[in-house]
Structure 1
Amino acid sequence: MELSAKGRNVIVTGGSQGLGLATAVAYAKAGANVAILARRPGPLEEARAQIAAVSSGKVSAVACDVASAADLERAHAEVVKAIGEVDILVNNAGKAQAFAFEGISDEVWQSDIDLKLFAAIRLTRLVWPGMKARRWGRVINVLNTFSKAPGAGTAPTSVTRAAGLALTKVLGTEGAPHNILVNALLVGLIESEQTHRFHQAHGADRPYDEFAAEMGRKIPMGRIGRAEEFASTALFLGSDAASYLTGTAINVDGGSCPVV
């Protein structure tokens, strides 16, 4: 089945690398106009060029700190000017922060909430009225499997992502009468900049491929995932093929999460 997003306007936050970039590329290949948001201008421009190379539509890259309400409003206005009103929003911005509870300061808690929860709330609030007026919209919240199955030492990420799961259900229910479909993708172990950083921190004495293969053996499918596999699922959720799917969360984890 070939999935199409032809003529749709898409925002991907955290779109300059990893899963966000792979998702933006997938949508561009499927015919969408794509805007990516990220903080660093250098990687952002490199990502824009990579997306433009496979795109037949408009491509925009806007430097933005999604943890800032004012910056999000500015970036949203720039995106609308560049590619038009947003049809599909992929809330992907975030970073892994997992510590023992006693050592987490108020500042770390607040920064995690601003980056992972409030960013999604604020940007969704900006695009929601237009989706509602057009009676068509898709919101995809990228979370992780800790939001369903948290463990010791996984805060603040697991707590913030669990709030994102609740937000997904609320929005899925409220958006359904207006054909705004809201779903979450829960990431397991997928190759990205984070896995490479983990390798440098915990296994730099071994080649990355050997380190990754060892991590993959702990997963039922026997390997870590690829960013392109995640992006294909994100593209499905934004397409008309997923027209009766809302308010749900899909594990993209090779079967490793103990909770369905």
Structure 2
Amino acid sequence: MDLGLQHKVAIVTGGSEGIGRATARALALAGARVVICARRADVLAKAMHDLSAETGTEVLAMPVDVREPADVMRLVDGVIARLGRIDVLVNNAGTSAAAAFESLTDDAWQDDLDLKLFAALRLIRLAIPHMRKVGGGSIVNLLNIGARQPAAGSMPSTVSRAAGLALTKALSKELAPDQIRVNAVLIGLVKSAQHDKKRNPTLDRDRYYADMARQRGVPLGRVGEAEEAADLIAFLSSARAAFITGAAINFDGGASAVP
């Protein structure tokens, strides 16, 4: 299927590993010119090299801490200086932070909001004028299913993600006249470096994820793959999804009780 992404320019935050890296790969294979960013320069450089080799197209990388407004501005200015336009923005940067409410300090709340909410809104604000210049664009915000169904001990992430969901819904209406589409993907259990780090090295990886799916009650009986999430994100970013905006799609194997 031709996604209509040839020569489009896409920014993927948190693009050095996991879903971000898989999304960058999917977009590049579809013909987009992709810029990835992340904090760890060494991991980012390896991802850039490997992705360029895997896709046969140049993938660019910029070390950026999206929590820092100056870094966000430098990212957007750098993309425009190098590639001249922005068509797709995938706000993927974020980590899982979950604790009991009374244990959370103001600093913990602020750090999570800076990473998962303010980074996205600052990037969107800077990208909008460039998307208008090319007649529209696509923004995909990566959230999690806790945005709709928060559990005890799930803060601050679920609060930040719920705010991201509201941002998605409101912006989809506000930016529709400019043909800028805004959608969200709500992630459930997906294989990732964060999960891998928690695995006992003596336990087989496949067994580890199979046990996790069973314990969490995933109806499809397994944990999702980053590449599967990337396919959905690439579709939402593309001309094939030209009539989809304001959607928040669960990517969770049926685990969420809230559609």
TM-score class, shorter: over 0.9
Tell me the residue number matched to 1:166. Answer: 166
The percent identity for this pair of structures is 46
> TM-score by structure 2 length?
0.96
How big is each residue's C-alpha offset from its partner over 1:81-125, in whole Å with a ceiling of 9 and x where there is no partner? Answer: 222211000000000000010100000000000000000000111
1:82-93 alignment runs, 5 A limit: 82-93=82-93
What does the per-residue CA deviation read over 1:195-220, in whole Å, with 9 as the maximum and x for residues that have no partner?
212324xxx55222211111122210
Two-structure CA RMSD over aligned residues (Å): 1.2
- Partners in 2 of 1:137 and 1:56 — Cα distance? 24
Query: What's 1:223 paired with?
Result: 222
Does the 8 Å CA contact 1:185/1:249 hold for their aligned counterparts? yes
Q: How far apart in 2 are the matches of 1:123 and 1:197?
A: 29
Letter in 1 for 2:219: P
Answering whether residue 181 of structure 2 is matched by residue 213 of structure 1, we say: no
Q: Which residue of 2 aligns with 1:232?
A: 231
Shift of 1:228: 0.5
Unpaired runs of 5+ in structure 1?
Answer: none
Q: Which amino acid aligns with 2:89?
A: L
Report the count of equivalent residues: 257
Where do 1:1-260 residues align within 5 Å?
Answer: 1-200=1-200, 204-217=201-214, 218-260=217-259
Is the 8 Å Cα contact of residues 90 and 141 (structure 2) preserved in structure 1? yes
Distance 1:50 1:103 in 2: 40
Q: Which runs of 5+ in 2 are unaligned?
A: none
Any runs of at least 4 consecutive aligned residues in structure 1 with deviations exceeding 6 A, and if so which? none
TM-score when normalising by structure 1: 0.96
Give the CA deviation at 1:51: 1.5
Equivalent-residue separation in structure 2 for 1:156 and 1:248 (angstroms): 23
Separation in 1, partners of 2:88, 2:10: 5
Residue identity in the other structure for 1:51: L
Q: 1:2: Cα distance to partner?
A: 4.1
Report the 3-state secondary structure (helix = DSSP H, G, I; strand = E; otherwise coil) of the residue aligned with 1:54: helix
